[in-house]
Amino acid sequence: MRKKQLISLALAATMICGLLSGCSGGTGKTGGTNSGTGEKKSGEYDLTLYTINTTDSDFPEWLANVEGATGLKINVIAAPTDSDTRQQKITTILSTGDASVDILEINDEMSASFKNSGWLEGLNDTVMTQDIKEQFPEGYIKDMITSKDGQVIGVPGYSGYLAFWVNQKILDEAGITSLDTKEDFMAYMKAASGSGRYGYGGSWEKTYAFNEIAQFVNMFGGDYLDWTNPANKEAIQFLKDMVKDGYTPIDQIADKYEQMNPKFNDGKYGSLFMWGLGADYNKAGMLGADKIHMAMVPKFTDERYIFTDSWSYVLNKASKNKEAAVKFLQYMASEEGMAASYKAFDRYPARKDVAEKVVPDTDPAKAMYSKYASECVVKGRPMLPQTMEFISAMGTIFQSCMKDEITVDEFCKKAQDYVETYNK
């Protein structure tokens, strides 16, 4: 892809970056040390970090920890909280060869756009060596932060799953004791639906639907980037039949997570897929083993599938401080560094060995996250270089299909056209 085109696409991506789950990892509380241009006196700092985390109240303590552990003096630039502005600035820094920033935090959408741009330094030989890499989710590393040349270009800062959530009260009322298989899932859909309640709820607004369309394609053993695959068609037909049979509502095509979660809390849905650790459910007093909780993803075929997302630390290829930057990244990828990030930012460790050691057994997410990591095929979301255009286009035709404006076959044909169009 030509650099000018890639810049244009990355800037366009900011239109909805903040809305997607992959952007959910940014905390945003304050305490940043420098929100200016990053200019510094020669020798005053060893490297400059462009980060989303300066707004976290524990950021100063985290920074002191990193500097103490590495011996580095780090200049910090606070990334804008507005997603549009943030991605525009990061794109400008990288595309222009601006060497004033050494390390940046980027989300999955930016990773998809930048990993083959030549703007980022490969880390295979210095940071993400085989022994370190194998502690991270293999599918995520491969799908999201590995370039076409096989170079890992980032260090994931945390792990977040598109978890399967259920309402235990509705499960008990429906008399369902297992959600292990497709047959169990359908039994729950039938038993839980009726009188204004639905077995399944989704965020089907056009820029959000992508997450669970891809999830169901995986569950049926398909390939989101190959719409000639019969399993893809089966997944879309399944979702369309869910609408037709009254197991999920067509009016959710207007819903983002902000609209879906309150409905889940109110008992409108029996289950759904959702990012995060259930903060919205907890605030509503609905999080718990006897209320709303995570569950294992049902097995529709021979495997269970789940998506993970993250923000990653990347090294600017134009950096003049690569030795120091590599030292910083090695610490971020280490057990000690990841444990420090978990302590400061409450973000679930991306390294499975670290999660096992530092996350307390009392954390309700620990057992399920461990099961997800060990029992599911963990993948990064399928994104193309023109990420946002692809997501929006797919969401638009998905809505049309669910509204019966186009057939499933027509959807699959258009979807394949979009894969070919936006994979440039």
- Asked if 288 and 409 sit in the same domain, the reply is yes
- Asked if residue 197 belongs to a domain, the reply is yes
Same domain, 72 and 221: no
Element housing 74 (H / E): strand 74-78
Tell me the average pLDDT across 228-255. 98
What pLDDT score does 391 carry?
92
For range 157-185, the mean pLDDT: 96
* Domain final position from 350, 376, 407: 350
Same domain (yes/no): 267, 210: yes
What percentage of the chain carries pLDDT values higher than 70?
90
- pLDDT category of residue 22 using cuts at 50, 70 and 90: very low
Given a cut of 60, whether residue 133 has pLDDT beyond it is: yes
Q: Are residues 143 and 171 in the same domain?
A: no
Instruction: Establish if 406 belongs to a structural domain.
Output: yes
Tell me how many domains the chain contains: 2
**pLDDT band of 8, cuts 50, 70, 90:** very low
75, 207: one domain:
no
pLDDT of 82:
83
Residue 153 and residue 166 in one domain: no
- Confidence category of residue 15, pLDDT binned at 50, 70, 90: very low
Q: What does the alpha-carbon distance between residue 261 and residue 420 come to, in Å, rounded to a whole number?
A: 34
Q: Is 183 exposed, middle or buried (0-12, 13-18, 19+ CB in 10 A)?
A: exposed
| CA dist 118 → 89, 115, 134, 324 (Å) | 17, 7, 24, 20
Query: Does the pLDDT at position 224 exceed 50?
Result: yes
Averaged pLDDT for residues 366-382: 92
Closest CA to 137 of 387, 361, 348, 339: 348
- Domain-terminating residue out of 298, 330, 350: 350
Q: Where in the sequence is the domain holding 88, given as residue range(s)?
A: 3-158+310-350
Q: Assess if residue 377 is contained within a domain.
A: no
Can you read off the two tokens belonging to residue 279?
């903060």
Average pLDDT in the 17-31 region? 37
Spatial contact of 219 and 228, defined as CB atoms under 8 Å apart:
no
Q: Is residue 192 part of a domain?
A: yes
Q: Does residue 359 lie within any of the structural domains?
A: no
Structural domain includes residue 121 = yes
What is d(CA 118, CA 115) in angstroms, rounded to the nearest whole number? 7
Question: Using 50, 70 and 90 to split pLDDT, how confident is the model at 140?
Answer: very high
Q: What pLDDT score does 279 carry?
A: 87
Does the reported pTM lie above 0.85?
Answer: no
- If asked whether residues 13 and 119 sit together in one domain, one would say yes
13 domain-assigned: yes
* pLDDT tens per residue across span 313-351: 999 999 999 999 999 999 999 999 999 999 999 889 999
The pLDDT tens digits of the residues spanning 269-312 come to 999 999 988 989 999 999 999 999 999 999 999 999 999 999 99
Same domain, 20 and 134: yes
Average pLDDT, integer, range 121-125? 98
Question: Is 368 a domain residue?
Answer: no
Mean pLDDT of the chain: 90
DSSP assignments along 324-382, one per residue? HHHHHHHHHHSHHHHHHHHHHH----SSHHHHHHHS-TT-HHHHHHHHHHHHSEEE---
Give strand pairing partners of 47.
74
Q: What is the pLDDT of residue 43?
A: 61
Same domain, 117 and 243: no
Question: How many angstroms separate the CA atoms of 409 and 228, rounded?
Answer: 10
Give yes or no: residues 129 and 199 share one domain.
Answer: no
Same domain, 249 and 301: yes
What count of other Cβ atoms lies within 10 Å of the Cβ of residue 236? 25
Cα–Cα distance, 56 to 18 (Å, whole number): 18
CATH number for the domain that contains residue 166: 3.40.190.10
What's the Cα-to-Cα distance from 181 to each of 157, 186, 220, 249, 303, rounded to whole Å? 33, 9, 12, 22, 11
The verdict on 105 and 138 lying in the same domain is yes
32 Cβ contact partners less than 8 Å away, ≥ 6 residues apart = 51, 54, 55, 59, 76, 77, 78
